[in-house]
Every structure is written in structure tokens, then in C-alpha cells.
Amino acid sequence: MKRILITIMLLLFSALSFSQQLNNIQRGQRGYAPMPKYDGSAYVSSLDIYKELDKVLPKCKLEFNLDEFEMQILKGLLIDKMEGYNLIIDNEDYTRDVRQSKLKLNEFEFVKSLNSIFTSEEVSRYIEMDFESDKVEKKKKRKKRKKS
């Protein structure tokens, strides 16, 4: 009887010591960092070519004062670039590194083809342009403070 009681007590204390994880920081203690959450937005999806053209072409027309002929050339170059982008992204046989290298090569070829209609200064301005920001920044209103 005494042996059974000692073994039960030994098992109980050993189970409690393993549940406390003595070497690790537990939740609620200082220095605890929760497990990382994986972000699903890291996956790249293919582009809608004509939506992207609607964003890019008007800004380029205003920025570079393009005539209709140059606009059509730029439109063709952009379509070729985006179709190449979609082909690279949709191919599931490529690893992440291969995709990145092919996307960089696609971008480099596009910039080289831009030299046919733009000067080198205009190409550098095109690269620096931000086509994603359509929002206009609003000024923050000051809150009125109550006099006490």
C-alpha cells in the first residue's frame, strides 16, 4: 500500500513538472512571445492586365505628354510585360527563387524596351513613379481642447 501511494505521488509530481515547462517562458510571463502567424498575403496572384493598364496609361500620358502613337506602343509593351508576369506566376513548377529571378529578368527586358520611346531620364522617372497610390491624403483635423 505504501509503495502504491509513493508511486502515485511520484507520477503526479513528475506530470506536474513536465506541464510547467521549466526551461521555457510561459504565457503571461515576461518575455513571452506568441507563436508567429503565417500571412496568407505572401502568395502572389496574377494581374488583371486591363485594370492595370487603366491605372498606368493615364498617369504616363500626363507625366510624359505622350501622343497617341507613343501611347499605343507603351500599351503594347505593358501588355507584353504583364502577360510575361502572369505566365511566370501561374507556372507552379518554379520555386520562389526561380520566380524572382525570372520576374527581375522580365522587368529588365521591359525597361530596355522602354528606351525605344523614352529618353533615359524619362525611363528613370517612369521607374520612380508610383502607380498604386490613388488615394489623396487628407489633413488631420485638430481636436478642440476644453478650457478648464
Average pLDDT over residues 24-45: 69
- What is the biggest distance separating any 2 CA atoms in the chain, rounded to whole angstroms? 99
pLDDT in tens, 44-95: 778 889 999 999 999 999 889 989 999 999 999 999 999 999 999 988 888 8
Mind listing the pLDDT tens digit for each residue in 119-128? Answer: 889 999 998 8
CA distance 87 to 92: 10
Say what the pLDDT of residue 133 is. 63
The per-residue pLDDT for 86 is 93
Backbone angles phi, psi at 51, to 5 degrees: -65, -40
Q: Which is more confident, 92 or 136?
A: 92
pLDDT, greater one: 33 or 52 = 52
Instruction: Give residue 106's pLDDT.
Output: 95
pLDDT over 70 percentage in the chain: 74
Over the stretch 19-29, which tens digit does the pLDDT of each residue have? 555 566 666 76
**Per-residue CA distances from 107 to 23, 65, 79, 90, 102 (Å):** 50, 23, 12, 17, 9
pLDDT of res. 39: 58
